[in-house]
Chains A and B, each alone.
Chain A
């Protein structure tokens, strides 16, 4: 029963992408499963802090499913702004106007044996140049658009 594949659509899909500050898991008590701590919908720096600023560590938690395989994925962080017509535009945050990306050192494995496979990635030194609305995007390495995205507000 355990090794029987579950139904899953073709390709790579994401059930949830969640930003959080911590993940708790006790390997000695796997029956307790894991918990996500301090889910991030808004980051508020102390009033004394000045932008631009860095956050030492944020976790991205993703539940992936789809065609069993190994996939190269990466995360992109963008600021969401509006143009003169009120349309949303993405502002790249990386050096020289390039997207700010966090690339995983190895592929993620979608087993197809579970409803979802869960992944947690600690991002270090996450940079926020100014207060505003930001978006973490999950990209497949060979994709031309994000699989999913999660937004958060950052302010002081």
Chain B
């Protein structure tokens, strides 16, 4: 699975997906081209939910875990972060598995 290139795709379900070319702002703030690019943390990715079974019902709990991960990530070297993210993902999976 990859990010699709621009175009219109016929889906197996019968639907269609149109992917546009990248679009930039028509009137960006003055000087914004030199604004720093955000270095989004792994924690931010964990807070970007996919519709996992039970995720909606357990959203508050998962968000708490994500925030805890943010704190823990800040305290470890970069090379150890992937392992930490995997561990917290496992915690979230266990939380979902126990959803009633």
- Contact call A105/B25, Cβ cutoff below 8 A: no
B49 contacts across to A, CB distance below 8 A: 39, 41
Interface residue ranges of A81-117 to B (CB < 8 Å): 93-96, 98-106, 108-109, 111, 114-117
CA distance A20 to B50 in the complex (A): 10
Contact A44 B70 (CB under 8 A): yes
Contact B38–A24 (Cβ < 8 Å): no
Interface contact A124-B23, CB-CB below 8 Å: yes
A52 adjacent to B1 (CB under 8 Å): no
Contact of A21 with B45 in the complex, beta carbons under 8 Å:
yes
User: Which A107-154 residues sit within 8 Å CB-CB of chain B?
Assistant: 108-109, 111, 114-129
Does A43 contact B44, Cβ atoms closer than 8 Å?
A: yes
Residues of the A chain whose Cβ atoms lie less than 8 Å from the Cβ of B2: 24-26
B54 at interface, CB cutoff 8 A: no
> For B25, B32, B40, B50, which residue has the most chain A Cβ atoms within 10 angstroms?
B25
User: Chain B's nearest CB lies how many Å from the CB of A66?
Assistant: 15
Closest 6 CB pairs of A and B: A31-B12, A24-B1, A38-B48, A94-B27, A44-B44, A25-B4
* Chain B contacts to A: CB under 8 angstroms: 1-4, 9-30, 32-33, 35-41, 43-45, 47-50, 70, 74
21 contacts between A and B (CB under 8 A): A24-B2, A25-B2, A33-B15, A34-B17, A36-B50, A38-B48, A45-B44, A46-B40, A50-B36, A54-B38, A56-B37, A77-B25, A94-B29, A99-B27, A101-B27, A102-B25, A104-B20, A111-B16, A121-B23, A123-B25, A129-B29
